[in-house]
Amino acid sequence: MPDHSAKLWHFPGGLQLDPHKSQSTQHPIQRIPIPSRIALPVKQHIGEAAEVSVREGDYVYKGQPIAHAQNHVRTPVHASTSGTVVHVCQQPVPHPSGLTDLCVVIDTDGLDRWFDGLLDPIKDYGMVNPACLRARVHESGIVGLGGAAFPTAIKLQRPIETLLINGVECEPYISCDDMLLRERSAEILEGVRILRHALEARHCIIAIEGDMPLALEAMRQALGGEQANGIRLVTIPPKYPAGGERQLIKTVTGQEVPSDGLPIDIGMICHNVGTANAIYHAVCLGKPLVSRIVTVTGGGIKQPKNIEALIGTPMSHLIEACGGYTDRFERLIMGGPMMGFTLPSDRLPIIKATNCLLVASQDEVGSPSAVMPCIHCGDCARVCPAILLPQELYRFAQAKHFDKLQVYDLFDCIECGCCAYVCPSNLPLVQYYRFAKYEIIAREHDQASAELARRRYEQRNQRLAHEKQEHAQRLAKKKALLNKLHPDNAEDSRKAAIRSVVERVKAKKATH
Ligand code: SF4
Ligand code: SF4
C-alpha cells in the first residue's frame, strides 16, 4: 500500500490549483504515424551542444547517433527513425528566446529500421559496476524528462543515501507522468532499481501525487512486497509546486537543500519517473532515447490525449493526431500554464524537454490585462515556495541591479509562477527573473572569458621571457666553455675567424 501514514512536512507558500487533467487522461497513450520529416536539434539539454557526426545525404537508422558527446555536460542525440539526412542547418527550435539552433533534418522512409549497432542489453545490471551504468545512460542520450532536460549521467556520479523518484506532476493540465505510471509502472520500477544500484542508494522513495489514484495503484501493484526492501511509495498532497525538487525533498524528508547547494549536498538525488523509464529502455533493451510521452491538451484542441512522439516530430503532426484546433484556440504553450512558454508556431519539433503542448483557449489564457505599478500588497511573497521577496526581485531586475539580485537569492527562484499568478498588478514577474538570470550568467561568462584571455596573455609573456633567459644562459655557457678551452687566444681566434670570412668573401667577388 502507498505509505499514507508516512510523516510529511509542509513547504512554504504554493497554491491550490484546479488540476485540469481529466481531459487528457480519458484514452491510453497513443502512438501516431511517422511524420515525413523530422528535425533534431543537437542541443536538447542543459549544457553544451553535441557535435554533429552525419552529413547531408547520409542514410541513418533509428537509434543511430547523429551527434556525439565527448563529456557528460554534452548529451548525444540519436535519429528517432530511419531516413536520409537532408539538411544540417539552423532551424527554429522551441525555446523561450525564440532563436534558431543547429538541427539535423531527416526525410523519413517510413520503415522505422533500427540501427544494428545498438548497445547490447544489460540484463543482469546488478552485476555491473555503477560507472558502466552511468556510461550507458550517457551514451543513450538520457536527460531529465520532467521538463528540465538536465543530463542524467551527471546525477549518477556519486553514491548517495536516498534516491527520490518524482511522480508528482503538480502543474495543471500535464498528465504524461500520470499516464506513464498507469501503463508502464513495471518498466519504471525496473528503471528505479537500476538507478538505485548505480547510486548505491540505501533508501528509495517513490513520490506520487494524491490526485493520481490510478497511477498510485499501478505502482503499488508493481512494487508488490518490495516496499519492505527499502523502496517506499509515498502519497503527496496535491499542491503546486509540490513536484519542485526542493519542495519535494522538504515534503518527504523535512530537510532543506542549502540555498547555494544541491540535493546531493544532503545525500539525496531526485529523478523523474519518465527518466527512470528511459533508463530501463537504455540498460535492459539497449535502446537510446528516441521518443517521449507528450500531453496535448487544452480547450483549443479537439481530442486531448497523451501521445508517444518520436523526438523531432513537428508539433503540427501531434495537433493533427488530436483532431486539430477548435475554434476557441488562442495560444500554443510548451509546458503547463504556470511554467510553460508561448510558441510562435506549431512547426517546431518535439524535443526531449517537451512534456506538454497546452493548446489553450481564450478562457484558459485570459485577456491580456493592463500591467499596473506594484502596490506592495505582499501577496507574491506569501505564495513564494522559495521564501523569496518577489516584489524586491522585480524591482532590482527592472533596474538591472544584478548584484542586489544575487544578494536576494534570485537563483533560488524556481520560476514556478506562483507570484505572477496572484499579483493584482499583473506584473510579468517571471519574465523579469528569467531575463535577469540570463544577463547574470552571460556577464559571468564574459568575465570568465576575459579572465581566461588575460591569464593566457600573461602565461605567453612569461614563457617568452623564460625562453629568452634560457637562450642567454646557453650563449653565456658556450662562451665560458670556449674561453676555458682557449684561455689565452680566445679573443684573437675570434678576430682571426672573422678576418678569414671577410677574406673568403673578397676572394669570391674577385673571381666573378
Ligand atoms: S503581488 Fe504584485 S503588486 Fe503585490 S507586492 Fe507582489 S509584485 Fe507588488
Ligand atoms: S517564480 Fe520565483 S519568485 Fe515567484 S513564487 Fe516562484 S520561486 Fe518565488
pLDDT, residue 384, reads: 98
Distance CA 254, CA 252 (A): 6
- Give the CB-side neighbour count of residue 65, counting CA atoms within 13 A: 18
Ligand 1 pocket, residues with Cβ under 6 angstroms: 374-380, 390-391, 394, 422-425, 427
Distance CA 112, CA 24 (A): 27
**Helix crossing, 390-398 with 429-485: angle to 10°?**
60
What is the pairing mode between strands 83-92 and 59-60?
antiparallel
Q: Where are the beta strands (DSSP E) in 109-216?
A: 162-167, 203-209
Ligand 1: which atom is nearest the Cα of residue 375?
3
- Single-letter amino acid, residue 57: G
Ligand 2 pocket, residues with Cβ under 6 angstroms: 383-386, 388, 390, 393, 413-419, 429-430, 433
Ligand 1, residues 15, 369, 371, 380: which to mutate, most atoms within 8 A of Cβ?
Answer: 380
What is the pairing mode between strands 162-167 and 268-272?
parallel
- Single-letter amino acid, residue 360: A
- Single-letter amino acid, residue 34: I
Cis peptide before 241 (omega within 30 of 0): yes
* Rounded distance from Cα 9 to ligand 2 centre (Å): 20
Write out the three cell numbers for 360: 489553450
pLDDT, residue 489, reads: 58
* Rounded distance from Cα 443 to ligand 1 centre (Å): 28
Residue nearest to atom 7 of ligand 2 (CA): 413
* Rounded distance from Cα 384 to ligand 1 centre (Å): 12
pLDDT, residue 279, reads: 98
Ligand 2: which atom is nearest the Cα of residue 380?
5
Residue nearest to atom 5 of ligand 1 (CA): 376
Tens-level pLDDT at each residue, the chain (512 residues): 445 557 899 999 999 999 999 999 999 999 999 999 999 999 987 778 899 999 999 999 999 999 999 877 789 999 999 999 999 999 999 998 888 999 999 999 999 999 999 989 998 999 999 999 999 999 999 999 997 889 999 999 999 999 999 999 999 999 999 999 999 999 999 999 999 999 999 999 999 999 999 999 999 999 987 666 789 999 999 999 999 999 999 999 999 999 889 999 999 999 999 999 999 999 999 999 999 999 999 999 999 999 999 999 999 999 999 999 999 999 999 999 999 999 999 999 999 999 999 999 999 988 778 999 999 999 999 999 999 999 999 999 999 999 999 999 999 999 999 999 999 999 999 999 999 998 998 888 877 777 788 888 888 888 888 888 888 888 888 888 877 777 665 566 667 777 877 888 888 777 76
Residue 170 near residue 209, CB atoms below 8 Å: yes
* Rounded distance from Cα 378 to ligand 1 centre (Å): 6
* Rounded distance from Cα 172 to ligand 1 centre (Å): 23
Residue nearest to atom 1 of ligand 1 (CA): 423
- Count of other CB atoms within 10 angstroms of residue 68: 14
pLDDT, residue 129, reads: 95
- Single-letter amino acid, residue 265: D
Residue tagged 497511477 (cell numbers): 215
Residue 362 near residue 351, CB atoms below 8 Å: no
Q: Which residues contact 456 (CB under 8 A, 6 or more apart)?
A: none
What backbone phi and psi angles, to 5 degrees, belong to 307?
Answer: -125, 140
Distance CA 109, CA 366 (A): 42
Residue nearest to atom 2 of ligand 2 (CA): 413
User: ∠ CA 387-388-391 to the nearest 5 degrees?
Assistant: 135
Q: Which listed ligand is nearest to 432 at the C-alpha?
A: 2
Ligand 1: which atom is nearest the Cα of residue 381?
6
Write out the three cell numbers for 231: 523502496
Q: Which residues contact 114 (CB under 8 A, 6 or more apart)?
A: 61, 62, 63, 82
Q: Which listed ligand is nearest to 380 at the C-alpha?
A: 1
- Taking alpha carbons only, the member of 93, 37, 97, 30 closest to residue 296 is 30
Distance CA 332, CA 164 (A): 32
- Taking alpha carbons only, the member of 334, 511, 308, 336 closest to residue 418 is 336
Q: Which listed ligand is nearest to 13 at the C-alpha?
A: 2
- Taking alpha carbons only, the member of 223, 210, 226 closest to residue 178 is 210
Ligand 1: which atom is nearest the Cα of residue 391?
7
Write out the three cell numbers for 424: 493584482
Q: Where are the beta strands (DSSP E) in 119-277?
A: 162-167, 203-209, 231-236, 268-272
* Rounded distance from Cα 380 to ligand 1 centre (Å): 6
pLDDT, residue 397, reads: 95
Cis peptide before 424 (omega within 30 of 0): no
* Rounded distance from Cα 391 to ligand 1 centre (Å): 6
pTM of the full structure: 0.86
Residue 162 near residue 268, CB atoms below 8 Å: yes
Distance CA 246, CA 442 (A): 25
Q: Which listed ligand is nearest to 413 at the C-alpha?
A: 2
Ligand 1, residues 372, 376, 388, 395: which to mutate, most atoms within 8 A of Cβ?
Answer: 376
- Single-letter amino acid, residue 267: G
* Rounded distance from Cα 429 to ligand 1 centre (Å): 9
Cα-to-chain-centroid distance, residue 400: 27
Ligand 2: which atom is nearest the Cα of residue 417?
1
Distance CA 66, CA 89 (A): 13
Residue nearest to atom 7 of ligand 1 (CA): 391
Residue nearest to atom 5 of ligand 2 (CA): 384
Ligand 1, residues 423, 426, 433: which to mutate, most atoms within 8 A of Cβ?
Answer: 423
Residue tagged 511522480 (cell numbers): 167
* Rounded distance from Cα 20 to ligand 2 centre (Å): 22
- Taking alpha carbons only, the member of 290, 288, 283 closest to residue 121 is 283
Helix (H, G, I), strand (E, B) or coil at 78: strand
Ligand 1, residues 15, 369, 372, 375: which to mutate, most atoms within 8 A of Cβ?
Answer: 375
Residue nearest to atom 8 of ligand 1 (CA): 374
